């Protein structure tokens, strides 16, 4: 593993070091120091700056083109003493560094909402929290959301020609919330019975799905009937909004967590944590 990384094209931060011999700082008075590195067909040697001679402190400021070639490099400090003798530091190994490409920034388009942006909230409200093996595939969520828009359930919005987004961009949180609620309804409605899933020693079950579907329908109808203004300001207030509008306690109706054990069962619900012998 490299000692440090540099982003291609960057000239900061400076490389600093305290040169030591036998654990003590090397006195660099009247010495000259170079910073040398090689790798990936590149071999360079440049004069370094002594910032504190008696303490053995040096630094090197990257020059133009020093960090233009990606890859792993080996480096050393070369010290020339007043008598002409030379030593390299560290003397038992190389300093290794890697020049890596810059991570591209992600800019969401201003003219559309990507279908991919809907996947996380839909999964969150459906209790699909396993990122490695999700219950609902991304392509399935995209199809449901796309169908809701294509079927005219959201007047004023359309699917983009590449079928990967909704235009214009959804900037109203209640509209986004309503789209997520209806997508959730589409997933739970075909199987309105009881379902559960298990992961390792933890068993999580969602209670009567028929009740959840009914409450979800009431919430959707209420939101559609009263309009988006003032219903809730952002997606983070979803749980409080649902309870305030419909009386639905998500913890009570959606989630029951049980820790399996040979002696007792712990149940987490609306009433708190109960231990059942």
What are the residue boundaries of the structural domains of the chain, listed by start? 4-100, 113-276
Q: What is the CB-side half-sphere exposure of residue 199 using CA atoms within 13 A?
A: 12
Average pLDDT (250-268) is 46
Paired tokens of 234: 């952002």
pTM: 0.41
pLDDT at 259 over 60: no
The predicted pLDDT at position 58 comes to 93
Q: How much is the mean pLDDT over the chain?
A: 74
The predicted pLDDT at position 267 comes to 54
pLDDT at 129 over 50: yes
> What DSSP letter does each residue of 146-186 carry, written as one string?
HHHHHTTSSTT-EE-TTSSEEES----HHHHHHHHHHHHHH
With residue 222 as reference, give the H or E element that holds it: helix 209-226
- What whole-number distance in Å separates Cα of residue 124 and Cα of residue 184? 10
Burial class (CB in 10 A: 0-12, 13-18, 19+), 217: middle
Range among 57-61, 192-196, 232-236, 254-258 rated most confident = 57-61
Task: Please name the CATH architecture into which domain 4-100 falls.
Answer: Sandwich (2.60)
Q: What are phi and psi of 127, to 5 degrees?
A: 75, 20
**How many other CB atoms are found less than 10 A from the CB of residue 74?**
14
What pairing do the DSSP bridges indicate for beta strands 95-100 and 113-114?
Answer: unpaired
Contact 216, 184 (CB under 8 A): yes
Paired tokens of 250: 């998500």
The predicted pLDDT at position 57 comes to 92
Contact 38, 73 (CB under 8 A): yes
């Amino acid at each position: 593993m490299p000692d440090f990384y540099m982003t291609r094209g960057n000239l900061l931060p400076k490389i600093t070091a305290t040169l030591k011999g036998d654990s003590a700082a090397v006195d660099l008075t009247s010495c000259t120091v170079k910073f040398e590195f090689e790798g990936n067909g590149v071999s360079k040697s440049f004069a370094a700056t002594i910032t504190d001679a008696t303490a053995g402190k040096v630094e090197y400021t990257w020059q133009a083109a020093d960090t233009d070639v990606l890859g792993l490099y080996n480096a050393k400090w070369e010290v020339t003493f007043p008598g002409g003798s030379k030593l390299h530091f560290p003397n038992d190994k190389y300093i290794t560094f890697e020049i890596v490409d810059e991570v591209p920034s992600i800019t969401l388009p201003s003219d559309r909402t990507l279908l991919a942006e809907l996947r996380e909230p839909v999964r969150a409200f459906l209790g699909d929290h396993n990122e490695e093996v999700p219950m609902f595939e991304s392509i399935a969520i995209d199809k449901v959301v796309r169908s809701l828009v294509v079927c005219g359930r959201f007047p004023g919005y359309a699917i983009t020609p590449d079928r990967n987004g909704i235009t214009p961009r959804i900037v109203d949180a209640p509209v986004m919330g309503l789209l997520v609620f209806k997508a959730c309804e589409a997933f739970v409605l075909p199987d309105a019975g009881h379902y559960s899933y298990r992961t390792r020693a933890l068993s999580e079950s969602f209670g009567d799905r028929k009740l959840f579907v009914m409450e979800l329908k009431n919430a959707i109808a209420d939101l559609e009937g009263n309009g988006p203004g003032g219903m809730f300001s952002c997606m983070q207030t979803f749980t409080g909004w649902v309870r305030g509008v419909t009386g639905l306690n998500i913890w009570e109706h959606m989630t029951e967590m049980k820790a399996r054990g040979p002696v007792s069962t712990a149940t987490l619900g609306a009433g708190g944590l109960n231990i059942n012998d």
